[in-house]
A and B are shown apart, each in its own frame.
Chain A
Amino acid sequence: MTRITARRPALFWAGFSLTIVLAAFLIVPALTSMLAGLTVNYFRGVSSGLTLKWVAEVLTLYTDTIWLSLGIAITTLIATLVIGLPAAWALVRRPSRWTRLLEEFITLPIAVPGLAIALSLILVYGGVGSLRTSWVFIAIGHTLFTLPFMVRSVVANLHAIDARMLEEGAASLGASVFTRFITVILPNAKPGILAGSLMVFTLSIGEFNLTWMLHTPLTKTLPVGLVDAYASMRLEVASAYTLVFFVMIIPLLVAIQWAGAKASPALSR
């Protein structure tokens, strides 16, 4: 390892410069856009003054997209918890060829582009009752796409805490399978459940590939609104909307890092 005080070779500076350029490529547009959302006139630059009027305009124009996205994200989270937690436990309890296949099956929806999944959902369920015009249709798509993330996070956690051993202890005391699941397994898998939940929530809020096909004019989510603003609003409004999105998503990202480190301490540095 190179020491800080040592004279650094040319190779170090080459790597350093490349890394700085890459970091700038990623971070400069994000910062520029945040600033543009707070600037009176982006074309004239920051010297035209800072303002919150674009953010206010976004909040009056697009508030319903923010609430709908939050509602869908909460529904998706509940759905992935209700069907995902028992599934994760079943996959860990008795690993076999069949559970491997089942895990592969549940994971399939993230290997296929959202556009294709959305088309197939419309073809089969588009005519069923009022599902097509309901936000529930979008929540179904999101559950399909986020379920694997919940299941994997909890499965990894259950493996790490050796849940099967825990269960045997509880079984020897005479508790039934479902009592053991609720009272022993779930409390011990909390870090994995938390990490999975944050992931599911964040992915649902940002999901566009499925949502664009599944949405209707009355069920516009935040990313659908973003695309609308990118296409038809001035750059300041589009930037302010993106800023609102960042403000929502950044605390979630920080929490994911923190929960991930808690769920698998061995992997964190």
Chain B
Amino acid sequence: MAAHLLKHIRSDILLITPAALFVLAFFALPMAQLVLVGASGDSGWLAYTSVLTNPRHREVMIATLLLSLAVTLTTLILATAAALFLGRSRFPGRSILIAMLTFPLAFPGVVVGFMVIILAGRQGLIGKVTDAAGMDKLVFAYSMGGLFLGYLYFSLPRVLLTVMSAVETIDPSLGEAARSLGAKPHHLLRDVMLPALRPAMIAAGAIAFATSMGAFGTAFTLATDIDVLPMLIYTEFTLQANFAAAGALSIILGIVTWVALFIARQLGGDGVAAAG
């Protein structure tokens, strides 16, 4: 019996070895090296505190956190409202509407950036409309505002899908019971719907947050001088050749996104920051 079990365990190990070795060689070892490189600069291991001590790094870190929080909250509010509506109403054209809302799900960050340029760029739709309305031509694609719009575009379909499937698991009779007892719609929302949706909302929100923190493509498409953490890492690495700073900031960023996604996964979410 013991020999039999041993044979089983051995074949399990054989089955998983190629994948484990691959991740070890091309992820774990390079990451460990990156941790060391992060500490190889003039300030040594103190480089890891630069987001607190270095004024420029701190400023960029705070801006990135604020942007990501703003994107997360806005996406959650809009997507939850739409998900509550779509999950509980049936009307002609509903499935087309859902298809439209989830169509951009697989757009890479660079294409999302281009969508922002189409909307708010120099030849953008918003500029045309404001110009035609006799106002100042509104162009904000190549700034923090454009990045906010881009991450909103990126996160809305994802959060919407997650929250909508949670809405559909809520027993409709729960709402009917509350209504028959005289509950107003906003009480129903506050006391029944939102508590039931909270895990899905936190999980989806964490994914939106992690994507906004770490995504690079959208920012890179819009402008290279937007002050967010991935752009700072990129310029430190390629323009300043400051590998230590780039390494330390990458590790810090990786820890932040990993923790956010870990929370998402604990709550049964997908835990996947899609390519941004």
Please report A residues at the B interface, Cβ cutoff 8 Å. Answer: 1-4, 11-12, 15-16, 18-20, 22-23, 25-30, 32-33, 36, 42-43, 82-84, 86-87, 89-91, 93-94, 102, 105-117, 119-121, 123-125, 140-141, 143-145, 147-149, 151, 177-178, 181, 202-203, 206-209, 212-213, 223, 226-227, 230-231, 235, 238-239, 242, 245, 249, 252-253, 256, 269
Contacts and interface: CB of A to CB of B under 8 A. Distances in A.
A18 B89 CA distance: 14
Nearest to A121: B30
A226 B30 contact: no
Interface in B223-276: 230, 233-234, 237, 243, 246-247, 250-251, 253-254, 257-258, 261-262, 271-276
Contacts of B19: 83-84, 86-87, 106, 147, 151
A53 B57 CA distance: 46
A94 B172 CA distance: 39
Given A4-B90, A4-B91, A22 B233 contact: no
Contacts of A30: 103-104, 115
Given A116-B253, A227-B220, 11 more contacts: A2-B90, A19-B86, A30-B104, A42-B123, A43-B123, A106-B23, A113-B254, A119-B233, A206-B275, A227-B110, A230-B110
28 contacts: A2-B90, A15-B81, A16-B91, A18-B78, A19-B101, A20-B97, A22-B79, A28-B119, A28-B125, A94-B12, A105-B23, A108-B27, A111-B261, A113-B213, A114-B216, A115-B214, A115-B233, A119-B233, A123-B247, A124-B29, A147-B19, A147-B23, A212-B216, A223-B108, A227-B221, A238-B114, A239-B118, A245-B111
Interface of B: 8-9, 11-16, 18-20, 22-23, 26-31, 33-34, 37, 78-79, 81-82, 84-86, 88-92, 97, 100-101, 103-111, 113-119, 123, 125, 153, 156-157, 160, 168, 172, 185, 210, 213-217, 220-221, 230, 233-234, 237, 243, 246-247, 250-251, 253-254, 257-258, 261-262, 271-276
Contacts of B28: 105, 108
A102 B15 CA distance: 12
The 7 closest A-B pairs by CB, nearest first: A15-B85, A113-B214, A120-B30, A206-B108, A116-B250, A87-B19, A90-B15
Given A86-B15, A87-B15, A108 B23 contact: yes
Given A116-B253, A223-B108, A235-B123, A19 B97 contact: yes
A18 B261 contact: no
A28 B91 CA distance: 22
Given A27-B103, A140-B26, A227-B221, A124 B16 contact: no
B123 A111 contact: no
B18 A206 contact: no
Contacts, number: 265
A16 B88 CA distance: 12
Contacts of B210: 111
B34 A110 contact: no
A123 B30 contact: yes
B101 A22 contact: yes
Given A15-B85, A25-B153, A235-B123, A111 B262 contact: yes
B33 to A, nearest CB: 5
B101 A110 contact: no
A87 B18 contact: yes
Contact of B257 (A11, A107, A113): A113
Contacts of A178: 11
Contacts of B116: 29
Contact of B157 (A26, A113, A213): A26
Contacts of B15: 86-87, 89-90, 93, 181
